[in-house]
Amino acid sequence: QTISSTSTINNVTNLKVRLYNAKINNEINGNWITVPAGTVQEARLKAKAKRRLRKNSSRDSGRGDSLSDNGDTVRFGPPPTSPKGKVLDRRSRQGKGRGLPKKGGAGGKGVWGTPGQVYEDEQQVDVRDPNYDEDQENCVYETVVLPLDEDAFVRTVTPIVKEYFEHGDAYEVAELLSELNLGTMRSDVPLLAVSLAMEAKASHRELTSRLLSHLCGRVLTHSEVEAAFHKLLQELPDLVLDTPTAPRLVGQFIARAVADHILPTNFVEGYKGRVDCGHTRAALDRAAVLLKMRRETGLRIDNLWGLGGGQRPVNQLIKEVNLLLKEYVLSGDVAEAECCLRELEVPHFHHQFVYEAIVMVLESSGDTTLRMILKLLKPLYDSSVITVDQMRRGYERVYMDIADINIDVPCAYSLLEYFVDQSFSSGVIDKNLRDLCPCR
């Protein structure tokens, strides 16, 4: 049974009282009796224990310390800990809990909840708050996007247009432009697009015409498109310095815009008698001629720039490849053939060019065509106009179709084997591709 510290102190006090009374009685009787040494030693031990209890009472109160009969301190609870250890001990003093921080770490000074906690409830405004402003309840906060200046406009819109030339998605361009605050630079979007297209390929000009038709009514108004073409005609003298054919190209853009109904039909007629610049007059004359041919002969201006790249039908591409090879065999101009192949803008279709060239060699008579085709394939392969993958795919297609080709050309196997050996000797193909050549 645990004895409290108060009981221990009372026992010591009672012992001292008894000793004092015994001393008084001895003095009264006149008999001075010497107190035994053991009794004095016992009193000193008990007094020392009392001082120790007083010293540790504030720190170890409630731990159940008491004195034994021989004056030793008896502890019935856990040993006392230092103040430092007491601070680090996070366990409950009542023996409850798992040692976790209180309130899951959400308690404490300056803490407004657990980490990552989001208060979704709207905070009610206190009208008694000294900082309360009555106008705050009617305020609407919106994100303000500053309008673009000329330099920021060119830096922002130019990458958008150039990226459009790669993917051809007009919807994405319209979405990107709608997120910008173009301000007074809105009418410069068609001007910038046409200026970039004139320095690019015909397929990019076709994409630009489609882009202008798509943006009109969604991002741009008809008046803004018309203002852009007016400004384009005014800047023609500067555009001619970079693109000598700018007047003819601008005239075609104007005719295409009129055909797409994004420019009024009287746009060209409105300039009659009011043009002093020769470049502007040439552009308007080109547009007037195309529009007149559209009315009288039914010319399709909507296909004015033609279809570029992979947008053309496969049969049309095959015909153009065959025509290119036939012109090369007659002229022997490798540079012109390479330029025409680049203008087709179909690098993924170059295997068809290799296939048609080998078939032409197999169907020809004599070694002239064979030598000319090898003379053409070698520089195209070295300059990476035709990649290794496209070259290999073209040869493999001939290997697969050699059985059908042999029906029309009886000696096709021997001719193919000879051509493959010559191609390997010239460095057009590797040894693995040469070994795949079929034989009869």
Encoding tokens for residue 198?
Answer: 């004139």
Asked if 390 and 351 touch (Cβ cutoff 8 Å), the reply is yes
Closest Cα to residue 209, out of 300, 305, 284? 305
Per-residue pLDDT reduced to its tens digit, 48-66: 888 888 777 655 554 545 5
Dist. CA 341–CA 381, nearest whole Å: 13
pTM of the shown model: 0.53
Encoding tokens for residue 371?
Answer: 């030598």
Q: How far is CA 10 from CA 4, 5, 25, 75, 103, in A?
A: 10, 9, 23, 18, 43
Q: What is the pLDDT of residue 219?
A: 93
In this structure, how many other beta carbons lie within 10 angstroms of the beta carbon of residue 143? Answer: 4
The SS3 call for residue 216 is strand
Q: Which residues of the chain have pLDDT under 70?
A: 1-17, 19-38, 57-99, 101, 119-122, 302-303, 306-311
Taking each helix axis from N to C end, the angle separating 388-408 and 350-363, rounded to the nearest 10 degrees, works out to 30
Encoding tokens for residue 42?
Answer: 């016992």
Closest Cα to residue 418, out of 372, 377, 358, 375? 358
Number of Cα atoms under 13 Å in the Cβ half of residue 403: 1
Closest Cα to residue 173, out of 149, 196, 189? 189
* Region for 100 from its dihedrals, namely left if φ exceeds 0, alpha if ψ lies in -120 to 50, beta otherwise: beta
Q: What is the pLDDT of residue 12?
A: 58
